[in-house]
Chains A and B, each alone.
Chain A
Amino acid sequence: MSAVQVQQLVKEFDGGIRALDGVTFDVPKGELTSIIGPSGCGKTTTLKVVAGLVEATSGTVEVNGAPVTAPGPDRAFVFQDFALMPWATVLRNAAFGLELRGVPRREREDAAREYVEKVGLSGFEDAYPHQLSGGMRQRVGLARALAVDAEILLMDEPFASVDEQIRRQFQEDLLRLLSDERKTVIFVTHSIEEAVYVSDQIVILTRGPSRVSNVVRPGVDRSGGSDSIRRSQAYLDWVEQIWHDLQGYLER
């Protein structure tokens, strides 16, 4: 069962630059699908078309069978640069998606408080974004996206601006959170390790033309905890194979 179907997506920017050139893939419901590829391959553009933030030149995106033309309450976006309002507290930022939807203050703050706690920021409700580290800021971005209770979570390189140690902790926390929430996630990343570690399915994009080169399902056994996963043969093999796939395009 697909939650999102992307078909023959073409995006041409002003000046004739083709960011996407016939991208097609399916996103199964309740799974985490990563989009990975060299920079300039249109990963983020694809995600923004799915979000309804960018209009495709041709091709379609369907969410549960309905074509996407604009942002909607079934999708929530997590931004690479967090996109927090610097003048608002953590709680108000986390509640802002609900605020825009007209949810009464009390109700939205209760929901936001719950997710602020779930992402591990209790005690920081009244802090301002500039008082937080990058990793903590992205937790606020995640809380905001979870609080609107959208079925589909769109994450644009959410950990790109976070340093490596915190990044691993964050990946753990994300997987734990998602296992409680049963969300469909599309996750853009440029890190192969990250993609193999968190994904059920990986869509590999290539550059010039920007198309899907391969869709793989690593199916790494996650039962043993993070350290044993990162040392498992399956994990290492998948990282290696995707690296090979991409290398061919990088050298061109």
Chain B
Amino acid sequence: MAFSLLVWFAVWEVVGRLELVSLLPPFSDVLAAFPEVVSSSTFPEAAWITLQAFLIGMALSFAVGIGVGILMGTSRAIGSLMGMWVNIFESSPLTAIVPALMALLGFGLPTMIVTVFLFSVWVIALDTQVGVERVNPSLVEMGRSFGASRRVLFSQIVLRAALPELLAGIRLGLIRGLKGVVIGQLLIAVLGVGYLFELYSRNFLMPEFWALLIILFAFAFLASEAVAYFERKVSFYASSR
């Protein structure tokens, strides 16, 4: 990975120095802009409100997505009642909803939280459903035959067996939630990193713009890798259930 990064940053540097497009400054300029971006007075505030919206929205998504997914996976009636809608929302361009949310919830944190939630909840619900449906029925019978209560059956067997799909849903949900928070802020344009993007691009501060984007990339990458680490830990039993 380090090699790939080095090569592409080198290519970037060369293309940037050729000054072909004003959108692309040399990579060294972008690097130089990092301290400026991070130490600017607006950055900590923007990062904090973004992180807040992201974390609260994701927490809601986990709770609702996993809950709904479990219901959809265990009850056929609920599965068919909700399945179509969850699928529609999962594949629909939710960006279009954000302006309506702004009208409803204002230009603040609630709109961003709901945007994060709406972007991420569906894939979590769907993957949880798949995971629960794929639990080997004889594992459930095994639990029952040795006297497991419903609660124990769920926490110790069903959720545990559904973990590979559940984690995949969480990882995809995290990435979508991050997209949601940035898109929401771009549309709101007065808050968080969205405001900074807006500010930098309006004033043609391209090195700062790219530096901020790389910070977001890195955050998204680390978040999804952290989940992927746990996914790899359980992947050995995804095929052997």
Contacts and interface: CB of A to CB of B under 8 A. Distances in A.
Interface in A115-135: 128-130
A101 B146 contact: yes
A79 B138 contact: yes
A245 B234 CA distance: 49
Given A81-B138, A83-B139, A85-B139, A71 B237 contact: no
A79 B139 CA distance: 9
Contacts of B152: 100
A75 B142 CA distance: 12
Interface string B197-235: 000000000000000000000000000000000000010
Given A72-B147, A100-B148, A100-B152, A87 B138 contact: no
Given A79-B138, A83-B139, A87-B160, A100 B146 contact: yes
Interface residues of A, number: 25
A219 interface: no
A96 B146 contact: yes
B145 A51 contact: yes
Chain B's interface size range is: 20 to 34
B147 A73 contact: yes
A81 B161 CA distance: 16
A85 B161 CA distance: 8
Given A53-B141, A79-B138, A130 B148 contact: no
* Majority DSSP secondary structure for residues of B touching A: helix
A82 to B, nearest CB: 8
A158 interface: no
B141 to A, nearest CB: 5
* Majority DSSP secondary structure for residues of A touching B: loop
Most A CB contacts (10 A, CB to CB) among B145, B146, B148, B157 go to B145
B183 to A, nearest CB: 37
A76 B139 CA distance: 14
A81 to B, nearest CB: 5
Given A86-B237, A100-B152, A79 B141 contact: yes
A228 B117 CA distance: 71
Nearest to B153: A100
Nearest to A53: B141
A83 B241 contact: no
Contact of A86 (B141, B144, B145, B240): B240
Given A73-B147, A100-B147, A101-B147, A86 B142 contact: no
Given A76-B145, A86-B161, A129-B240, 8 more contacts: A53-B141, A77-B141, A77-B142, A79-B138, A80-B138, A83-B141, A85-B139, A87-B161
Interface of B: 136, 138-139, 141-148, 152, 157, 160-161, 163, 234, 236-237, 240-241
